[in-house]
């Protein structure tokens, strides 16, 4: 048996004993979880018990951002070995459906995602079993605690991929949580890109400034000194209806709106006529697609900056406090992580 953090009701995390899982395939890997991050989607489940049609029907092991150490491998595994530290890709795709066959495993028809109701148990458990292909080795210079941030960074890199080949000089980033700040870090990797970051929380705007944001503002502000009146692209990273409306106002005609945030409601009202008149292109980001290795590289290069974004750390037994803090946006929290080994 092993300990796990389980969502047993909205707002309630309990530490319970769960059975160890066996290796079921020769390509499986058993991983001792060292660190787990609390993601915005975890907080949706924590607050409301659902994300859209995905409803928590019973106790659920939560979490999907994680790093760990390989404990055991199936006899066909060659990519990792016992004792090696890894980051874990939380989505297991089938490899056979039309989406997988056309290079879209992130929209796999039969995807199994960690910490998702009816799919896979989450990462906030002492050890997990995952396919070899979901385990990416970490370089010696990147700590396992810092590498937890590689999963949100992979989403940011995937969001930027939609704009590949376009002449993007100015971007707005609406929401300065971990994903929004990761989008900003990815912007800093691109020469000549200037960025506006908005958020209601001063601590997060301060973090954005420290990461090199050219302009920062609250979510309701319309005038930002020295900022351009219109932007080439806007990343919506907070999952709020009013942010999409503001994004449309910030974009120049022919601009690009990249929707990254996950809403708690099923429907938004959108000014389709305004988007149509200005020929705004919309992109929806579904997790990530093959960007985790690149994300590990970015985290390695910018590990000191990322360490500044991991503001709080808790042992597994204090998972309730960790979720309460993150859900309430208290004490300047940006990223809260769980130390699974004490």
Q: What is the CATH number of the domain that holds 236?
A: 3.40.50.720
Q: Which residue has the tokens 């009202």?
A: 269
What distance in Å separates the CA atoms of residue 130 and residue 23, rounded to the nearest whole number?
9
In a domain, 141, yes or no: yes
In a domain, 155, yes or no: no
Whether 124 contacts 90, CB under 8 Å: no
> β-strands 310-315, 335-339: how paired?
parallel
In a domain, 8, yes or no: yes
pLDDT score for 222: 65
> β-strands 170-174, 194-198: how paired?
parallel
- Greatest Cα pair distance, the chain, in angstroms, is 61
What distance in Å separates the CA atoms of residue 118 and residue 95, rounded to the nearest whole number?
19
Q: Tens of pLDDT along the chain (342 residues)?
A: 999 999 999 999 999 999 999 999 999 999 999 999 999 999 999 999 998 888 999 899 999 999 999 999 999 999 999 999 999 999 999 999 999 999 999 999 999 999 999 999 999 999 999 999 999 999 999 999 999 999 999 999 999 999 999 999 999 999 999 999 999 999 999 999 999 999 999 999 999 999 999 999 998 876 676 778 899 999 999 988 888 889 989 999 999 999 999 887 778 888 888 889 999 999 999 999 999 999 999 999 999 999 999 999 999 999 999 999 999 999 999 999 999 986
Residues 204 and 263 grouped into a single domain: yes
pLDDT score for 263: 84
What distance in Å separates the CA atoms of residue 339 and residue 342, rounded to the nearest whole number?
6
Nearest by Cα to 29 from 111, 127, 120, 123 = 127
Q: What is the CATH number of the domain that holds 305?
A: 3.90.180.10
pLDDT score for 18: 97
In a domain, 79, yes or no: yes
Domain enclosing residue 122, as ranges: 2-149+290-339
In a domain, 219, yes or no: yes
Nearest by Cα to 260 from 281, 231, 240 = 240
Judged by DSSP in three states, 99 sits in: helix
Structure tokens at 136: 């990416």
Residues 29 and 129 grouped into a single domain: yes
Nearest by Cα to 186 from 98, 105, 285, 295 = 295
Q: What's the total number of domains in the chain?
A: 2
Residues 6 and 111 grouped into a single domain: yes
Residues 279 and 300 grouped into a single domain: no
* Euclidean distance between the first and the last CA atom of the chain, given in angstroms as a whole number: 17
Angle, CA 56 vertex, CA 134 and CA 25 arms, to 5°: 30
What distance in Å separates the CA atoms of residue 148 and residue 124, rounded to the nearest whole number?
12
Q: What dihedral do alpha carbons 212, 214, 219, 225 form, nearest 10°?
A: 150
**What are phi and psi for residue 266, nearest 5 degrees?**
-85, -25
Kindly state the DSSP code that residue 280 receives in the 8-state scheme: P
Residues 197 and 120 grouped into a single domain: no
Alpha-carbon distances of 225 from 196, 221, 228, 248, rounded to whole Å: 11, 11, 9, 20
Residues 310 and 248 grouped into a single domain: no
Whether 125 contacts 33, CB under 8 Å: yes
Alpha-carbon distances of 93 from 27, 52, 96, rounded to whole Å: 14, 21, 8
């Amino acid at each position: 048996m092993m300990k796990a953090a389980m969502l047993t009701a909205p707002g309630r995390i309990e530490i319970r004993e769960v059975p160890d899982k066996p290796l079921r395939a020769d390509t499986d890997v058993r991983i001792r979880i060292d660190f787990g991050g609390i993601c915005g989607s975890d907080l949706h489940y924590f607050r409301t018990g659902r994300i859209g049609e995905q409803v928590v029907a019973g106790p659920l092991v939560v979490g999907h951002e994680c790093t760990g150490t390989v404990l055991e491998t199936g006899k066909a595994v060659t990519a990792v070995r016992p004792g090696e530290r890894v980051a874990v890709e939380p989505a297991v795709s089938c490899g056979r459906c039309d989406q997988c066959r056309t290079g879209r495993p992130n929209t796999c028809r039969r995807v199994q995602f960690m910490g998702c109701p009816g799919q896979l148990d989450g990462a906030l458990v002492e050890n997990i079993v995952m396919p070899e292909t979901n385990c990416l080795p970490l370089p010696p210079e990147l700590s396992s605690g810092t590498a937890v941030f590689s999963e949100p960074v992979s989403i940011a890199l995937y969001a930027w991929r939609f704009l590949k080949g376009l002449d993007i000089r100015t971007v707005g980033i609406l929401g300065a949580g971990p994903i929004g700040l990761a989008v900003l870090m990815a912007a800093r990797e691109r020469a000549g890109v200037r960025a506006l970051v908005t958020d209601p929380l001063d601590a997060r705007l301060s973090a954005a400034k420290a990461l090199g944001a050219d302009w920062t503002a609250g979510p309701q502000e319309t005038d930002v000194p020295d900022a351009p009146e219109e932007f080439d692209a806007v990343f919506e990273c907070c999952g709020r209806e009013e942010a999409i409306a503001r994004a449309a106002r910030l974009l120049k005609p022919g601009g690009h709106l990249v929707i990254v945030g996950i809403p708690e409601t099923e429907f938004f009202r959108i000014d389709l006529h305004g988007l149509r008149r200005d020929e705004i292109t919309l992109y929806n980001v579904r997790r990530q697609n093959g960007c985790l290795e690149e994300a590990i590289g970015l985290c390695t290069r910018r590990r000191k900056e990322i360490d500044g974004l991991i503001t709080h750390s808790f042992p597994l037994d204090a998972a309730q406090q960790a979720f309460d803090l993150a859900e309430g946006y208290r004490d300047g929290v940006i990223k809260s992580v769980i130390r699974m080994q004490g």
